[in-house]
Amino acid sequence: MRMPVRFIAAGFASAALVSFIQGFAPPPDGPETVRIAHASVAYREPGDFLRDGAPVNGPRREIRADTPFEIMKRQVTRGEYDSCVAGGGCRALDGGGDADLPAVGASFVDAMRYAAWLSGTTGALYRLPTDREWAIAAGTRFRDDAYTEVSDPKNPSKRWLALYDAEAAGEEAVDPTPRPAGAFGANERGLLDMAGNVWEWTSTCFVRHRTDSLTGAASEHENCGIRVAEGRHRAYLPTFIRDPKAGACSVGLPPANLGIRLVREERSGLDGLRNFLGF
């Protein structure tokens, strides 16, 4: 289900007003969202993990949505994105694209700008999901990115070779041609096209974790120049990358496309109005 772009554009001004009149209803003209509550998923922490200097898999555990959140039912379309361009909030994407198809070729920076613009025009607060939120929303479509347990500090090549074989055996190439919303089906939460052929940016930064098994000392080093994108597999990409074909995944083929799906903060309509009006 897709909200016509022009209708959204026409509805920007009225949205906040209607919210105000209706009291605490969410903005009616924003893209359709799905509320995620009481959901959980088996989640592996993203990033690199070094134990005594040797690469190992991150910890995996069940995580739950502590507070419910609303996430877009489908990915942002090219038409919606181009409205942001027309409104001066976003930079034009490279190349053409059908307005009804998902926006592809968007960098993390583009996604952040789109979220800011959409928040400003709808009066609701939109933002990128965290990687945890994305995983919870994806549910059964979330893919564990630990491909091997092999880790031999004495022979680092064993893990390299095991990961390489997992890469070769793992994922089938996916046709990168953008497809209409719903082409990859809905997951058990009703979200369309999770883990289809468009990867989605998250706000989660790349982190390297180090632990020393002798002393128990642990440290983290964060690099927010690289963010997590989620899809058929987890990808770590520099924030300026629009076309991921050169590859950024530790394992697997590079993402086919990079697109946008946003979380809408659950706030009152009055907050939204305040946000819209800037006070």
User: Is 217 near other proteins (CB under 8 A)?
Assistant: no
List 14, 40, 155, 268, residue binding other proteins (CB under 8 A): 155
Residues 6+ positions from 220 with CB-CB distance below 8 Å: 207, 208, 209, 210
Q: Which two tokens stand for residue 272?
A: 């939204």
Identify each DSSP E strand in 65-165 by its residue range: 69-72, 126-127
Q: Is 1 in the site for other proteins (CB under 8 A)?
A: no
State which of residues 62, 66, 149, 175 lies at the interface with other proteins (CB under 8 A): 175
What gap in Å lies between CA 252 and CA 169, rounded to an integer? Answer: 9
Any idea what DSSP says for residue 242? S
Q: What is the DSSP letter of 212?
A: -
Nearer to other proteins, 47 or 89 (CB): 47
For residues 179 and 267, which CB has a smaller minimum distance to other proteins in the complex?
A: 179
Q: Report the residue number, 122 or 257, with the smaller CB distance to other proteins.
A: 257
- 38 vs 154, which CB is nearer to other proteins? 154
| 8 Å CB contact between 54 and 151 | yes
219 belongs to the binding site for other proteins (CB under 8 A)? yes
Stretch that binds other proteins, among 81-89, 152-160, 187-195, 264-272 (CB under 8 A): 152-160
Give the shortest CB-204-to-other proteins separation in angstroms. Answer: 19
Site for other proteins in 60-99 (CB under 8 A): 95-96
Site for other proteins in 31-60 (CB under 8 A): 48, 50, 53-54
253 makes contact with other proteins (CB under 8 A): yes
Contact in structure between 161 and 147 (CB atoms under 8 Å): no
Q: Return the number of the residue (125 or 256) whose C-beta is nearest other proteins.
A: 256
Phi then psi dihedrals of residue 137, to 5 deg = -65, -35
For residue 213, state whether it binds other proteins (rule: CB under 8 A).
no
Round to whole Å and give the CA distance between 109 and 115: 10
Strand partners, 70: 35, 264
Helix %, strand %, coil % for the chain, to 5? 30, 25, 50
> Does 224 participate in binding other proteins (rule CB under 8 A)?
no
The residues of the shown chain that bind other proteins, judged by CB under 8 A, are 48, 50, 53-54, 95-96, 154-158, 160-161, 164-165, 167-169, 173, 175-176, 208, 210, 219, 221, 245-246, 253
